[in-house]
Structure 1
Amino acid sequence: MSLFRRQAEFMKDQPGFVSLQMHEGTADSRLLMNVAVWESTEALAAAFASPEFQRMASEFPDDIVSYPHVFQQIDV
């Protein structure tokens, strides 16, 4: 969990960052969901591409799988 916190603190300082919420599964689930809001896809891409973020991402154990997606908000 400390690596997630380090990544979150890094992202919060990046240009275009708006907000972040982390959610964890219940009932012994090991799933985590990170919902981040950015001003633009370009700002997110720049943060992901930074050498510091890439170093942190390489620290995750091999059994951690990440599925990054970009979504747009819709009216319901």
Structure 2
Amino acid sequence: MVKLIVIAVWAVCVASFFVAMPGPLNTIFYWVTLFLLVAHTIECVVFAKRVMKAEGNKLWHFIQVFIFGVVHAQTLPK
């Protein structure tokens, strides 16, 4: 359920670049998107050791950490 909410937030943020939003929403979503990109990039660096310990495709784990952040990182081994 949490992952669906995260996907919805990402979808709205990406859609705001293609659809004109009323009032200050374009600016708000621009900054939210920028924050998400920076925060999730930092999370990829912070959780890199966990990703490397995890079984399966490492690239797929990095992609999921980038998209879902801590939500996915919690499922990785410590």
* Fold similarity call, TM over 0.5: no
Whose Rg is larger?
A: 2
Q: Higher relative contact order by CA 8 Å / sep ≥ 6: 1 or 2?
A: 2
Normalised by the length of structure 2, the TM-score is: 0.27
